[in-house]
Structure 1
């Protein structure tokens, strides 16, 4: 894979006790040293206009000034230093590079994966939260739609971070040109992402939330990818599939109770690649969460290995009754003609 990376993203340092540490990127880089076919690409930072295409401009300018004044605690979870503003602009720039590369034909072993930070999927239109100031995936999706040379009409963002991607949902909730899917742990921060949150207005039906019960494992996530996610996205005729790739649903991540294995990320990657192929859509990845350094690094490496030719190993267990019930409710909420195979 091609990994979008910038040393500037290491300069955002919310403190040694904060889980969203620069060591996350260092761990990923160290793990990828052992893999062949890894390429790194830097990218230009985005400007305020690009960010303000999805965020309130006054809010964006307030973040810039907050950092210029030295930063501090924006809220109890979300902190900045003076260097954070440059890291934000580079993190979003790397996400934009990823969609550009994908839309210009990068595929297979060249598939782009942006590993910028701070992450973005909790950042709503006019506020920061959950370690996130600017929604990198949303900025990148809008960047793709705004450029005529890419000639695309519909984007899908699939968020497999263990936390609901409330910010991405907020930004695109009334839009028909962006289909947002979030598969996350039910009841976990930020407490949003119920099944009946399916979009409003022109966006009615283009938000799909799959809130999995604590303890859910690989089997149910695979069933979700092969069932309601694939069915909905293929019907929506997408041109670009952007993965908000958080790795905190791993069973060894310290802040969640979903029980995915490292192998699950190979399975999800493979299934989403199939969806993109079936839609003739470009495919790109953008890093979100993941706070156990070893499992974060191993999981990102697993995504890379999948594009490097490794065949995923299917799970041999069964879904829990609660997980099956959740998936059936998602199918009903979206009116899909589908039976859950789990």
Structure 2
């Protein structure tokens, strides 16, 4: 794969006790040293005008000034230093690079994966939260739609971070040109992402939330991908498919109670790559969360290995009863056929 990366993203340092540390990127880079076919690409930082396509401009200017004044605690979870604004601009710029690369035909072993930070999927239209200041994947999706050369009419976003991507949902909730999917742990921060949150107005039906019970595992997530996610997005027929790739649903991540193995990320990658191929959609990955350094690095590496020719190991067990019940409710809410092995 091609990995979008900038040293500038390391300068955003919210403190030694904060889970969203620069060591996340260092761990990924160290792990990828062992892999074949890894390429790194830098990108231009994103300008305020491009970010303002999905965020309130006054809010963006306030974040820029907040950092220029030395930063501090925006809220109890979201902390900035003077260098944070530059890191944000480079993180968003890398996400836009990933979209450009995918839409210019980079796929297979050249599939782009942006590993910028800070992450973005909790940032709403006019506020920061959950470690996020600017919504990287939302800006990238809008960039795909706004760039004439790309000829993109529909973008799909699949967010497999363990936390609901409330910011991405907020930004596109009333629109029909972006289909947002979030599979996340039920009841976890930020408390949004219920099954009946499906969009309003023109966006009615273009938000699909799958709040999974604590303790669900690889086969449960794979059933969600193969079932409602593939069904809904095949019908939507996107021109571009973006993965909000958080890795904090791993069983060894310190922040959640979902029980995914590293192999689960290979399985989901394989199925979503097939979906992109079947719908002729450009495919790109954009890093979100993941706070156990070793399992974060291993999980990013296995996504790369999947594109480098490694076949994922299929799980033996079927979908659990509690996950099957959730997936049936999701399918019913969206009028999708279902037959889950509960």
TM band (smaller chain): over 0.9
Q: Is the 8 A contact 2:319 2:340 kept in 1?
A: no
> SS where residue 59 of structure 2 aligns?
helix
Q: Is the 8 A contact 2:318 2:341 kept in 1?
A: no
Partner of 2:255: 255
Partner of 1:44: 44
Partner of 1:211: 211
Structure 1: state its 5+ residue gaps: none
TM-score by length of 2: 0.99
> Displacement, 1:238?
0.5
For 1:151 and 1:318, the matched residues in 2 are separated by: 41
Partner of 2:336: 336
Q: Is the 8 A contact 2:319 2:341 kept in 1?
A: no
For 1:276 and 1:225, the matched residues in 2 are separated by: 13
Partner of 2:89: 89
Q: Structure 1: which 4+ aligned runs deviate by more than 2 Å?
A: 337-342
> Displacement, 1:308?
0.1
> Displacement, 1:272?
0.3
For 1:74 and 1:194, the matched residues in 2 are separated by: 27
For 2:27 and 2:14, the matched residues in 1 are separated by: 17
Q: Aligned in 2, Cα 1:338/1:320: closer, same or farther, shift over 3 Å?
A: closer
Q: In the alignment, is residue 30 of structure 1 matched against residue 30 of structure 2?
A: yes
Residues 241-320 of structure 1: matches in 2 within 5 Å?
A: 241-320=241-320
**For the aligned residues, what is the CA RMSD?**
0.6
Partner of 1:99: 99
Partner of 2:164: 164
Q: Is the 8 A contact 1:95 1:140 kept in 2?
A: yes
> Displacement, 1:341?
4.5
Q: Is the 8 A contact 1:43 1:93 kept in 2?
A: yes
For 1:311 and 1:43, the matched residues in 2 are separated by: 31
Q: Is the 8 A contact 1:227 1:341 kept in 2?
A: no
> Displacement, 1:82?
0.3
Q: Is the 8 A contact 2:182 2:209 kept in 1?
A: yes
What count of residue pairs does the alignment treat as equivalent? 342
> Displacement, 1:319?
2.2
Q: In the alignment, is residue 143 of structure 1 matched against residue 170 of structure 2?
A: no
Q: In the alignment, is residue 67 of structure 1 matched against residue 84 of structure 2?
A: no
TM-score by length of 1: 0.99
> Displacement, 1:51?
0.5
> SS where residue 219 of structure 2 aligns?
helix
Partner of 2:108: 108
> SS where residue 303 of structure 1 aligns?
helix
Partner of 1:15: 15
Partner of 1:185: 185
Q: In the alignment, is residue 237 of structure 1 matched against residue 237 of structure 2?
A: yes
